[in-house]
């Protein structure tokens, strides 16, 4: 058994088999030059906006106004004037809609990452999430991820993206460990609303394997890799 320390995002105890969610990197969409790339981008923005409208309505009804506001903010982010103006300039220089929007969004993200302001840095993951939705739409790839398992699993992922965590529920995801993130990110609000024990452990993707079992002690900020059942039962007994 291995014990690993992490930062607490949400408290609680979770035990289960590990499921590692790895990003499937999108490819540069080099569409034929005769296709109007501005039209491609506008269609992707419209589609993404509709998705976010629906997500905001659902979360407002099923969760809270505070959660729905996150996705209303994403809707504003995808059409941020700085991103769109830069993307338009790049398209006019011959880049595809995908490459132009990707570069423009990354430039804004890079600017935010250099700011000495935790609030603004915590919004980077929201910009990334919103931009990736548009890029997926350009490539005609489904962005939403549905995670359903017969027995609850521990979700291991690289980043706490709101669009991923909003689809996590306790009947399928007993706990979450992310390689990056912070308490004050919007994703932290989501997992606390869903009451899912969550930790951030740097380099967790390199420290764990798909078939491992794990125990999250969100009260102490600890993760136990492949604990014995006796240890699990004893810890659960202590916390009752």
Here the tokens at position 150 are 């017969």
What confidence tens digit (pLDDT) does each residue in 39-69 have?
999 999 999 999 999 999 999 999 999 999 9
What confidence tens digit (pLDDT) does each residue in 191-238 have?
999 999 999 999 999 999 988 999 999 999 999 999 998 898 888 888
What confidence tens digit (pLDDT) does each residue in 75-134 have?
999 999 999 999 999 999 999 999 999 999 999 999 988 888 888 788 899 999 999 999
> 158 and 208 in one domain?
yes
What per-residue confidence (pLDDT) applies to 34?
A: 63
Nearest residue to 40 via CA among 127, 113, 100, 108 = 100
What confidence tens digit (pLDDT) does each residue in 157-182 have?
999 999 999 999 999 999 999 999 99
What per-residue confidence (pLDDT) applies to 239?
A: 75
> 228 and 160 in one domain?
yes
> 131 and 47 in one domain?
yes
Residue 152 DSSP SS3? coil
Domain with 54, as residue range(s), is: 37-138
- Calculate Rg over the CA atoms of the chain: 19
Within a domain: 32: no
At 165, which CATH number? Answer: 3.50.30.10
Within a domain: 53: yes
DSSP letters spanning 173-238: EEEEEESS--TTSHHHHHHHHTT--EEE-TTHHHH--TT-EEEEETTTTEEEES--HHHHHHHHHH
Comparing 29 with 134, the larger pLDDT belongs to 134
Distance, CA of 78 to CA of 46 (rounded, Å): 10
Angle between helices 124-138 and 65-78 (to 10 degrees): 60
- Least confident piece of the model among 6-10, 27-31, 118-122, 200-204: 27-31
Q: Is the pLDDT of residue 31 over 90?
A: no
Q: Mean pLDDT across the chain, nearest whole number?
A: 92
Q: Is the pLDDT of residue 32 over 70?
A: no
> 93 and 75 in one domain?
yes
**Number of structural domains the chain divides into:** 2
> 154 and 132 in one domain?
no
At 49, which CATH number? Answer: 1.10.274.10
Asked whether 21 and 155 are in contact (CB, 8 A), the reply is yes
């Amino acid at each position: 058994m291995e014990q690993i320390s992490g930062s607490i995002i949400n408290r609680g105890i979770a035990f289960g088999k590990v499921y590692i969610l790895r990003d499937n990197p999108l490819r540069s969409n080099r569409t034929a030059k005769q296709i109007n790339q501005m039209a491609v981008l506008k269609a992707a923005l419209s589609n993404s906006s509709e998705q976010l409208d629906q997500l905001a309505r659902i979360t407002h009804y099923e969760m809270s106004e505070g959660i729905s506001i996150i996705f209303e903010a994403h809707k504003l982010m995808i059409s941020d004037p700085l991103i769109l103006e830069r993307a338009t300039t790049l398209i006019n220089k011959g880049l595809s809609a995908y490459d132009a929007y990707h570069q423009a969004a990354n430039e804004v993200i890079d600017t935010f990452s250099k700011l000495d302001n935790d609030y603004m840095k915590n919004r980077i993951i929201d910009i990334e999430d919103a931009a990736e939705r548009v890029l997926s739409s350009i490539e005609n790839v489904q962005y939403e991820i549905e995670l359903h398992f017969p027995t609850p699993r521990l979700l291991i992922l690289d980043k706490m993206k709101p669009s991923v965590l909003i689809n996590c529920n306790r009947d399928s995801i007993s706990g979450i460990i992310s390689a990056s993130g912070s308490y004050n990110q919007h994703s932290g609000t989501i997992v606390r609303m869903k009451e899912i024990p969550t930790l951030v452990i740097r380099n967790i993707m390199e420290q764990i394997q798909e078939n491992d079992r794990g125990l999250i002690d969100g009260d102490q900020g600890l993760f136990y890799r492949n604990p014995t059942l006796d240890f699990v039962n004893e810890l659960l007994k202590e916390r009752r």
